[in-house]
């Protein structure tokens, strides 16, 4: 796996963050991994979603080249959590589920509402390794919902993504991801 160094500009402050191919995932508010989770340690309870957050229909996502298959019975609706994260499990798995303190190996593609892709490990040809404590809150919460070998689609509201924005991502932008969880370390 290739290591990269990237520059992240946040509110006029330039941070240099060591990246391992996760340009669209690192939480720019931390310059080093924080042993305290940046999101709830446990995924939000699905029944606790506020009344105004209801499941919503979503078409079958276009999978990136190299992605595994979606389950035949994958849901057509995205489910909200109490934090505002929307998700749907595209491939179930009985594999080990990560906690907010774990490192994971994942393949993913991220894009904005307008369809513009901002990051993809698939394009780089290899999955990325990172701590769930060092990524945006929507990832920390969402990846705890699947096990190794699973695939999830995430729709992350701005509050759980990059509230101040970052290079190529406007402030409060909704982030969309397809993620395959390869391994929990």
Mean pLDDT by 10 residues, the chain (185 residues): 37 35 51 38 44 83 93 96 97 97 98 96 97 96 98 98 94 98 97
DSSP H helical ranges for 41-169: 121-124, 137-143
Q: What is the pLDDT of residue 31?
A: 41
The rounded distance, in Å, linking the Cα atoms of 106 and 110 is 12
Please state whether beta strands 77-80 and 117-120 pair in parallel, antiparallel, or not at all (unpaired): unpaired
Q: What is the pLDDT of residue 53?
A: 85
The rounded distance, in Å, linking the Cα atoms of 107 and 90 is 14
End-to-end CA distance of the chain: 16
Q: Could you name the CATH architecture of 4-184?
A: Roll (3.10)
Q: What is the pLDDT of residue 52?
A: 76
Q: What is the pLDDT of residue 24?
A: 53
DSSP H helical ranges for 16-70: none
Strands (E), the chain: 4-10, 13-19, 56-57, 77-80, 86-91, 103-112, 117-120, 128-131, 151-156, 175-184
- CA 171 from centre of chain: 17
């Amino acid at each position: 796996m290739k290591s990269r160094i990237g520059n992240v500009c946040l509110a006029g402050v330039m941070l240099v963050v060591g990246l391992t191919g996760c340009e669209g995932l690192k939480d720019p508010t931390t310059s080093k991994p924080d042993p305290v989770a940046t999101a709830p340690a446990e995924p939000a309870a699905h029944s606790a979603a506020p009344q105004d957050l209801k499941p919503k229909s979503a078409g079958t996502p276009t999978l990136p080249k190299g992605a595994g298959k979606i389950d035949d019975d994958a849901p057509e609706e995205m489910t909200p959590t109490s934090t505002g994260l929307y998700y749907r499990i595209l491939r179930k798995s009985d594999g080990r589920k990560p906690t907010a303190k774990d490192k994971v190996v994942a393949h993913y593609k991220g894009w904005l509402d307008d369809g513009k892709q901002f990051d993809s490990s698939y394009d780089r040809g290899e999955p990325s390794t990172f701590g769930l404590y060092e990524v945006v809150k929507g990832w920390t919460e969402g990846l705890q919902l699947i096990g190794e070998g699973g695939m999830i689609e995430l729709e992350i509201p701005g509050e759980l993504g990059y509230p101040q924005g970052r290079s190529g991502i406007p402030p409060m932008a909704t982030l969309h991801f397809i993620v395959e969880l390869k391994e929990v370390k």
